[in-house]
A and B are shown apart, each in its own frame.
Chain A
Amino acid sequence: MTVTSLFIYVFFGVFVCFSYFHLSNLALDFIEKKKSKKFSQKSVLRPYIFIAPAVIVLVVFILYPVLETVRLSFFNKTGFEFVGLKNYFWATKDPEFKRAILNNLGWLLVVPTLSAFFGLVIAYLADRLWWGTIAKSIIFMPMAISFVGAGVIWKFVYDYRGPGDDQIGFLNAVVVSLGFEPQAWMTIPIWNNLFLMVIMIWIQTGLAMVIFSAALRGIPKEMLEAARIDGASELKIFTSIIIPYLEKTILVIWTIITILVLKIFDIILAMTNGQWNTEVLANLMYDWMFRGGGDSGRGSLMAIVIMVAVIPIMIWNIHRHKEEEKT
């Protein structure tokens, strides 16, 4: 890929897309005008011209694959032979799968909670200081970085050298300067999961922070002032006014991060590839897509487990939007 072919590629892709809309609409204008001048604007066809590409993409890339994945999970590795619940029974006995489920549960408990907690605290602190905007920019910055990039950043922080050598990883340097033995953090089972979660918390706190920050501005100033005049401490105001007020925001942030965490993949693949008991569902699924020539049955099953975990949030979302549409 050279710079010239990049331009050609990009131009080609965008051109095809744009010309569809332009030409089809012009064609429609032309036909409609010929038919009757009076009703030229009330075309029955035009909505379908507008939605056709999106709907086709939606069907081909989302709806059909979702149904097909459900089907495949009941079929064997090539997807041609019906095996009923065999894949599901296999999963309940597979140690790797169990490990992945347990780890995903751990991620679900720790990451959304801590990200939301830090996000809220930082948003609250930053809104009260003159340099808060700068602080927020810095905390938010990891959101712009890829998970793999974040993986490299943190792999460097966690780097391990033997006890005799100078540590070049920041964490081990701190540990050694406090008089402890350096550790190969990524290889200590159970704990290594926490060190991986730290990366995700480091990234997602920024997201929680900006959403909280926007919500905090919605709290009526009079209410806070009244509480201060009555002599309530800052901590008291935080726990008994601000947190209850933000209940819905907390729920929204929690669902967003939960969904992200369920699909956590890049960090694991880049840092450990599931070794030392750090396996998670999305990585295991990627593995089964190609392991031994690929097993679409087992791979699909893993996707379905992730999907099932998302369904409650999906229903809640649809419900929430229906409510919003009414008002």
Chain B
Amino acid sequence: MKKNVLTSIITNLLLITFVIVWIIPTAGLFVSSFRDKDLLATSGWWTTFKTNKVNEIYRTKTSEYQIEENGMFFIKDNLLDKNSGKKIVSYGITSKEMNKFKVNEIAILKDQSKIEIKENGEYLWKSEKSFEHKRGKRIFITALSPPKFTLDNYKEVLFKEGVGQAFLNTLTVAIPSTIIPLIICSFFAYALSWMKFWGRDTLFAIIVASLVVPLQMCLIPLLSIYNDIGALFNIGAKSYPGVWMAHTGFGLASTTFLLRNFIKSLPHEMIEAARVDGATHYDIFLRIILPLSVPAFASVFILQFLWVWNDLLVGLIFLDQVPSEIILTAKLRELLGSRGENWEILTTGAFVSMIIPLTIFFALQRYFIRGLVAGSVKG
């Protein structure tokens, strides 16, 4: 039995390693999207949960706020925000000696005024002469900052960077681009399975061949058709209906293929019985096939929806890259170029783009996997 225990330990360890390696990249993105943007730029996301040392610069109040008492002048305030939770460790009054003074120590400035800073950021600045400065004095602090999570990144990304708009645009592209092929292809798949007409087998062979045709083969001619149509009617060549049709075209083969395999596998006695009773194919399709095909529809719907949602190429080519039309993936790519160093925007934007796919994935994983295993190859 010793050998079995050993095997089991190795199996567990190996799988844990795989899982950790696989989850780390996504975890980093997820955690980072909730971090403060300044912290994000200077420390690794894995340090989120521990207290960090941060260096910051603040200014004291100006001389307008001074109080006179017994011939002494005071300025009193707090450097830190009320809820920051930071604890000051040391501070300095010149950029060269940022850590000259310990917290609670008294610093003597050039003009003989004295400043004292407490751990929670409160300071007391006193002088025998009246304060004259127009701008606050700079104070350099080193503080311990506790883990802090914020939704600020989401607010900024959704409403200021235009990702919220891109999210709606993607929905506008994705929903019809999924439903239209589903309607068209279910009729097509039914005809390929149960109706007799000239060229049926050839048509199915073409569908199987089209499964693997790279969509790059179609882009250039389609773009020029779109441009011609646009010029003919004097409208923009790029529009939402245009993208729906492009996605319908590119998803046609795989959708038809999967639905046809499913519909073909339904018992033919049932269909023949209905025919004998005088039902037309349309009746059979609506009353028998549709209700029975719900699981297959779910699989195909999820596959096509995720494909369209995650697509970049079609959205780049058949839509204008303007705020009212740009899709999430294209927006994200644009941000990678323009805000390449602003990780708070990139991580949050990327996470926004993943919310819908991940929700679908976790809620309907069974159908998703079923569709994939059923042999989906998309061109």
Residues of A within 8 A of B (CB): 1-3, 5-6, 9-10, 13-14, 17-18, 21, 25, 28-29, 40-41, 43, 46-48, 50-51, 53-55, 57-58, 60-66, 68-69, 72, 79, 118, 121-122, 125-126, 128-129, 132, 135, 137-149, 151-157, 159, 165-170, 173, 202, 205, 207, 210-211, 214, 234, 252, 255-256, 259, 262-263, 265-266, 269-270, 282, 285-286, 289, 296, 299-300, 302-304, 306-307, 310, 313-314, 317-318, 321
Q: For residue A259, which residues in chain B have a CB less than 8 angstroms away from its CB?
A: 212, 214, 377, 379
9 nearest interchain CB pairs?
A61-B249, A146-B310, A54-B188, A13-B176, A65-B218, A144-B361, A47-B197, A68-B221, A152-B350
Q: For residue B208, which residues in chain A have a CB less than 8 angstroms away from its CB?
A: 317-318, 321
A207 and B28 contact, CB distance less than 8 A: no
The 8 Å CB contact of B205, one of A68, A252, A318, is A318
Q: For residue B11, which residues in chain A have a CB less than 8 angstroms away from its CB?
A: 125, 128-129
Chain A binder among B108-116, B123-131, B272-280: B272-280
Known A17-B183, A47-B195, A170-B24; contact A148-B312, beta-carbon cutoff 8 A: yes
What are some 15 contacts across the A-B interface (CB < 8 A)?
Answer: A9-B240, A13-B179, A25-B280, A51-B187, A53-B187, A62-B210, A135-B18, A135-B19, A140-B361, A152-B29, A170-B25, A259-B379, A263-B215, A265-B312, A303-B220
A312→B284 CA distance, assembly (Å): 39
A155 and B336 contact, CB distance less than 8 A: yes
A47 and B191 contact, CB distance less than 8 A: yes
B217 and A63 contact, CB distance less than 8 A: no
B230 in contact (CB, < 8 A):
no
The 8 Å CB contact of A1, one of B209, B241, B324, B375, is B324
A263→B40 CA distance, assembly (Å): 34
Chain A residue at minimal CB-CB distance from B375: A252
B282 and A18 contact, CB distance less than 8 A: no
B252 and A148 contact, CB distance less than 8 A: no
**Which positions 182-240 of chain B face chain A at CB distance < 8 Å?**
183-185, 187-188, 190-192, 195-197, 203, 205-225, 240
B88 in contact (CB, < 8 A):
no
B336 and A270 contact, CB distance less than 8 A: yes
Known A51-B203, A64-B221; contact A256-B377, beta-carbon cutoff 8 A: yes
Q: For residue A205, which residues in chain B have a CB less than 8 angstroms away from its CB?
A: 22
Chain A residue at minimal CB-CB distance from B247: A61
Chain A binder among B62-70, B77-85, B141-149, B164-172: B164-172
Q: For residue A55, which residues in chain B have a CB less than 8 angstroms away from its CB?
A: 188, 203
B329 in contact (CB, < 8 A):
yes
The 8 Å CB contact of A57, one of B195, B248, B324, is B248
Q: For residue A159, which residues in chain B have a CB less than 8 angstroms away from its CB?
A: 343
B244 in contact (CB, < 8 A):
yes
The 8 Å CB contact of B252, one of A62, A285, A307, is A62
Q: For residue A53, which residues in chain B have a CB less than 8 angstroms away from its CB?
A: 184, 187-188
The 8 Å CB contact of B22, one of A41, A142, A152, A269, is A142
B44 and A132 contact, CB distance less than 8 A: no
Chain A binder among B97-105, B292-300, B365-373: B365-373
Q: For residue A314, which residues in chain B have a CB less than 8 angstroms away from its CB?
A: 209, 211-213
* Max chain B C-beta neighbours (<10 A), residue from A46, A48, A145, A259: A145
A106→B188 CA distance, assembly (Å): 39
B346 and A3 contact, CB distance less than 8 A: no
A69→B187 CA distance, assembly (Å): 29
Chain A residue at minimal CB-CB distance from B174: A10
Q: For residue B51, which residues in chain A have a CB less than 8 angstroms away from its CB?
A: none
8 A-B pairs besides A72-B221, A154-B25 with CB distance below 8 A are A1-B165, A118-B18, A122-B18, A148-B332, A289-B220, A299-B220, A303-B220, A317-B377
Q: For residue B57, which residues in chain A have a CB less than 8 angstroms away from its CB?
A: none
| Main DSSP-derived SS at the A contact region | helix
Chain A proximity of B223: nearest CB distance (Å): 7
B90 in contact (CB, < 8 A):
no
B42 and A168 contact, CB distance less than 8 A: yes
Chain A residue at minimal CB-CB distance from B302: A144
B176 and A10 contact, CB distance less than 8 A: yes
A132→B43 CA distance, assembly (Å): 34
Chain A proximity of B200: nearest CB distance (Å): 8
A234→B7 CA distance, assembly (Å): 8
Chain A proximity of B282: nearest CB distance (Å): 4
Q: For residue A151, which residues in chain B have a CB less than 8 angstroms away from its CB?
A: 336
A290→B246 CA distance, assembly (Å): 19
Known A51-B203, A72-B220; contact A126-B15, beta-carbon cutoff 8 A: yes
Q: For residue A142, which residues in chain B have a CB less than 8 angstroms away from its CB?
A: 22, 26
B12 in contact (CB, < 8 A):
yes
Chain A proximity of B49: nearest CB distance (Å): 15
* Max chain A C-beta neighbours (<10 A), residue from B175, B220, B279, B368: B220
B153 in contact (CB, < 8 A):
no
B245 and A61 contact, CB distance less than 8 A: yes
B184 and A152 contact, CB distance less than 8 A: no
A310→B214 CA distance, assembly (Å): 8
Known A61-B246, A152-B349, A263-B216; contact A211-B373, beta-carbon cutoff 8 A: yes
Q: For residue B175, which residues in chain A have a CB less than 8 angstroms away from its CB?
A: 10
The 8 Å CB contact of A146, one of B184, B275, B312, B379, is B312
The 8 Å CB contact of B210, one of A9, A58, A168, A256, is A58
Q: For residue A262, which residues in chain B have a CB less than 8 angstroms away from its CB?
A: 214
A149 and B354 contact, CB distance less than 8 A: yes
A173→B46 CA distance, assembly (Å): 10
Q: For residue B23, which residues in chain A have a CB less than 8 angstroms away from its CB?
A: 138
Chain A residue at minimal CB-CB distance from B357: A144
